[in-house]
Amino acid sequence: MVALVLCLCLPALAVAAATPTVDIVKVHGIVDPALAGYVRGTILDAERDGSTVILQLDSLGSYGDQAASLARTIRSASIPVVVWVGPSGARVAGGALFLLYAGSLAAMAPGAGVGPGIPFDLGEASEAPGDAAGRTAQLVALAPGAQATGDGARAVSAGRALPAGPALAQGAVAMVAVDIPGLLAKLDGQTVRAGGREVVLATANRIDRPVDVRFHEIGPFRGVLHAISTPTAVYVLLLLGLWAFAFELTQPGFGVAGIAAALALSLAVYGLSVAPVHGVGIALLVAGTALMGLDVVIRRVQWLTLGGATLFAAGSVFASRGLVPAVRVPLWLIIVATAGSVLFFGFAMTVALRSRERIHTAQVGLVGLVGEARSDLNPEGGVLVKGSLWRARTMDGTIRKGSRIRVRAVEGLILRVEPESD
């Protein structure tokens, strides 16, 4: 009986083991550490499975040498890695061209574009002629491995973006495919080099040989890190974090605004470590925000607010000075943020501080009065005194819900209470 079961199962296992696998990996946006780590990890997983990898690429470049480092991983992979610029409307430029030519075959979709290769680093608007020539030479050397020509890679690197037709005619890519199914059909049976050997691709389903196609996208954690790794995202997070922090200073204890400020500022700090933002500009932005906040505290929303808004706007412009337009903080956003900061500190914060003072004045009048605990105070909770609900903290120990309390002091916007014996 056991032998019969093994005889029936072994052919099925052999078929399953022989089933080719294709991993479609979506690579969208600037090549930063988060995106590079995701692609690198996916390729390593595919090597363990013996899969063919197709990178669906749409990127305007990279930060620093992230693309060049990832290209080395792609070129040294033991499995075929096909790079397809798609779908229609996608574009590959700058450092991302290294990913295109590091693969086993370079392809693109009609309506997509490849090039130019300058600037290689999106954090630098200009590149020295010697560096540009060196990058072009590296692309030319990589291109034959992707079944492209050196002349095609040189044209893409030095010129403008090429659409699919001219790119194919000049040898900048080896294949044009409309979509993923069309690409899989064209790739099936093609011979490419991978891991120093010739490999025949099996990418299309056949009656005698099905293909398992798996789609991959960047995970939520790395996706968030990838999304905030642009100067614009850093700018917005820093602005929201500073606003939330300023508002939290007007509130008792540590509330939702404080949590939001901590989260936004933490993400902004990570973004600052990745995105090419000038530190002097960020310092001016923070100083301008502090001046506007100080003006609210001293009740003279005039010269300090004007000076703070000027510093804020100057810092916002300087923060992305020298960056390429693709990643520069847009001027309209700087104008909106500057006007919003003036309104926030000149109106919203002023109203919040006056409201806090009115509450504090009312609380001082509660000292000595008796009330009732509306929740367990351990040590904080809610108490009802003189018909209103207040936040309170015990002087010592725990007070149970429903117990009588007496107000002994006021700290900020919190009542200090103790149990009141009947």
Lowest mean pLDDT among 109-113, 255-259, 274-278, 287-291: 255-259
Domain 20-217 maps to which CATH number in 3.90.1150.10, 3.90.226.10, 3.40.50.12780, 3.10.20.30?
3.90.226.10
Across 301-369, the runs of DSSP E, i.e. the strands, are none
Element (H, E) at 414: strand 414-419
Residues 282, 314 contacting (CB under 8 angstroms): no
Q: Can you say how many angstroms the Cα of residue 23 is from the centroid of all Cα atoms in its chain?
A: 23
Q: What is the CA radius of gyration of the chain?
A: 31
Buried-state track 42-61, b at ≥16 Cβ within 10 A, e below 16: bbeebeeeebbbbbbbbbbb
Full-model pTM: 0.78
How far the first Cα of the chain sits from its last, in Å, is 84
Q: Per CATH, the architecture of 365-419 is what?
A: Beta Barrel (2.40)
CA-CA-CA-CA dihedral for 289, 252, 233, 121, to nearest 10? 70
Return d(Cα 57, Cα 72) in angstroms, integer.
16
Residues 86-132: pLDDT tens digits? Answer: 899 999 998 899 999 999 999 999 999 998 888 888 877 666 656 67
Residues 371-414: pLDDT tens digits? Answer: 888 888 888 888 888 777 878 888 877 888 888 888 888 776 68
Number of residues that make up the chain = 422
Confidence band for 252, pLDDT divided at 50, 70 and 90: low
Return d(Cα 163, Cα 151) in angstroms, integer.
16
- Fold match between 20-217 and 365-419? no
Domain range annotation of the chain: 20-217, 228-362, 365-419
